Structure 1
């Protein structure tokens, strides 16, 4: 049987993982239009790697990064453009990042609700003990 403290621990680990996901998505979205010269690596979008923890909960096991090759974009007016007029941009899809942002936000909100419910359960148990 799972107790209130177990629920708090598991929900807390979930909030931490979702916060990392939200942070990486915010960074990815902020850099979606970051370009470099073709001789440099593109901005690499990040994605947390999350794994289950024995006994319940999750942890961020690492951060995966997208391909540093990115994609070449024709932008001859850009001061970073090469002789052929190309710059290197991240190969990141804004629609995908925004979809993931909604999922991460909803996951975080669900974890917060579980935490509130566990706190309410623990508080109710204390009230029973006082009666």
Structure 2
């Protein structure tokens, strides 16, 4: 492992966790997005990550949830059909919040690794100057 591999690996982790946080925020913001029954439901995004050759992680893609969603009876909603139904996404808010905590912790850990590596490299440079 080279001298700056730790920074490269932590940087890749920061990028992946940022994408994960962004998709979770998008999903949570749209958890109650209603559509008419003749439309598809909001599709939650799920990050697909994979390990990189030589260490690190990258976003390999974004998968979408089922467009069918769930049909809910809400006759007062402005998008309700003639029978009073609207289509809502199949997004579990509790699961999204749990994943949000995991993504935040992963991001924080990557930030700490980056800080520690920078301090270590800075200390090594100071030793070389003495």
The TM tier, using the shorter chain, reads: over 0.9
CA distances 1:3-44 after superposition (whole Å, capped 9, x unpaired): 441000000000000000000000000000000000001000
Partners in 2 of 1:123 and 1:23 — Cα distance?
32
> What is the DSSP-based 3-state SS (H/G/I as helix, E as strand, rest coil) of the residue aligned with 1:40?
coil
Partner residue in 1 for 2:41 = 42
Partner residue in 2 for 1:75 = 74
Partners in 1 of 2:3 and 2:71 — Cα distance?
52
Q: Show structure 1 runs of 4+ deviating over 4 A.
A: none
Partner residue in 2 for 1:33 = 32
Partners in 2 of 1:129 and 1:50 — Cα distance?
39
Residues 1:66 and 2:65 aligned together: yes
Deviation at 1:83? 1.4
Once superposed, what is the RMSD of the aligned Cα atoms? Answer: 0.7
Partners in 2 of 1:4 and 1:112 — Cα distance?
18
Partners in 2 of 1:79 and 1:97 — Cα distance?
27
Corresponding residue pairs, total: 130
Partners in 1 of 2:109 and 2:78 — Cα distance?
46
Partners in 2 of 1:59 and 1:86 — Cα distance?
41
Partners in 2 of 1:63 and 1:38 — Cα distance?
25
Partners in 2 of 1:77 and 1:29 — Cα distance?
23
Residues 1:14 and 2:32 aligned together: no
Aligned partners of 1:41 and 1:70 also within 8 Å: yes
Q: Give structure 1 stretches of 5+ with no counterpart.
A: none
Deviation at 1:58? 0.6
Q: TM-score, normalised by structure 1?
A: 0.97
Q: TM-score, normalised by structure 2?
A: 0.98
Residues 1:119 and 2:127 aligned together: no
Aligned partners of 1:71 and 1:89 also within 8 Å: yes
Aligned partners of 1:4 and 1:119 also within 8 Å: no
